[in-house]
Structure 1
């Protein structure tokens, strides 16, 4: 019998997987924006050309500033990486991560008990666990060749947020020059951290990818959700 824990629906952001992936926009729906379930970025890529592994990176809590010390993962939030193997945009495999007592526990990859907006912790399919990092990065590699990390990382999102606000302002003359060139733009997120969950895993554990990206490369269709316990 499967040991499962019911988790009520949270809110997620989806991004298709690719060799070089797009980040999310740091602006989510009001129910999650600025919360411990807020997804900032999601990346999926090969660690090197021709590698047989895939790396998944999920960044949550995009407002973890240095003067706030290190953020913490919410133990009531389940993060789930969803993988579609047959092109129907329904998850066929999931990798789950949830924090407990200073460690991040991972489960999967396996077919979920249910698809869609509700999730259950798949406790019968432990993948591994790792100490949540502080000032020193802690990485755990399992006997299956899976590498795991959880902790603060510098926010990778480069965005001149204040110039953006000026450009979209109803005051038509607030930014007549429009967006600034890279050498003049300010990185609003410079020095800020996100709380990152990272999994590097052999493709043999995921199944065969069937999607093709804009570069003609075969990739996984993948997205991430966060689900809050209720």
Structure 2
């Protein structure tokens, strides 16, 4: 099988099962402020009874609202790793890497090697889509796979600066979160969403489960799920 240059692992974020969310914002010094820094990872069925799975990855970019959109790094390979036999080792991978204004996808396919390092599985092209700017562009392939790549509103709701004050012991004593039934107009502070208006660089894939294969993985409720995590790798 044809393979590209080796990509070495930089970041990872795990998610066990569908209908769950994992988040990890701006706390990886080696990747912070770049699209190698993974912010959010989502996996879910788009509608009840659907035979599709949606994977959505938000890559960290400029997070504060007054900063400009970021861009995807052509030296960073994104891998969605999928465990189908419950051993927490990837059996199938989906890869995405940008080139000249487009995001190219490969897989789902068994990886040539497991772990943090990887190579582009160029013999298993999945499709490509123009990287969106202000207007969202979605490409749907002949086998029912929908693809998106571009800036999106940060889905994370968090009062980052108030959190730092609480951790540092400097938060006003009268502080109550917005929406607290005990909050009054006389309270010193109300919570604000620091990330309101901020953007991440998002990659979204919806594909039929038939392309992922069967799974024996189970979640805490005993339901069969794909156990999945995402990694970013830099070219060496």
TM-score calculated relative to the size of structure 2: 0.89
User: Where does 1:19-30 land on structure 2 (aligned, <5 Å)?
Assistant: 19-30=18-29
Establish whether residue 180 from structure 1 lines up as the match of residue 177 from structure 2: yes
Q: Does 1:224 align with 2:222?
A: no
Counterparts of 1:1-230 in structure 2, within 5 Å, are 2-64=1-63, 67-169=66-168, 171=169, 174-176=171-173, 180-182=177-179, 184-230=190-236
Q: Report the alpha carbon displacement of residue 23 of structure 1 after superposing the two structures with TM.
A: 2.8
- Cα deviation for residue 181 of structure 1 reads 4.3
Distance 1:151 1:77 in 2: 15
Deviates more, 1:217-226 or 1:25-34: 25-34
Q: Is the 8 A contact 1:17 1:45 kept in 2?
A: no
Offset, 1:115:
0.6
Alpha-carbon distance in structure 2 between the residues aligned to 1:43 and 1:177 = 35
Give yes or no for contact 1:163–1:175 (8 Å, CA) kept in 2: no
TM-score of the superposed pair, with normalisation by structure 1: 0.92
CA distance in 2 between partners of 1:10 and 1:49 (Å): 35
Q: Runs of 5+ in structure 2 lacking a partner?
A: 181-189
Name the count of aligned residue pairs. 227
Of stretches 190-199 and 215-224 in structure 1, the one that deviates more from structure 2 is 215-224
Q: Distance in 2 between matches of 1:179 and 1:56?
A: 35
Moved >6 Å (runs of 4+):
none
Distance 1:111 1:18, change over 3 A: same
Residue 174 of structure 1: how far off its partner (Å): 3.2
Shift of 1:182: 4.0
Give the Cα separation in 1 of the matches to 2:153 and 2:210: 30
SS at match of 1:105: strand
Deviations 1:156-199 (A, max 9, x none): 00001111111110x3x534357624463210000001000000
CA contact (8 A) 1:139 1:148 kept: yes
**SS state at 1:23 partner:** strand
Choose 202-211 or 4-13, whichever is displaced more.
4-13
RMSD of equivalent CA atoms: 1.8
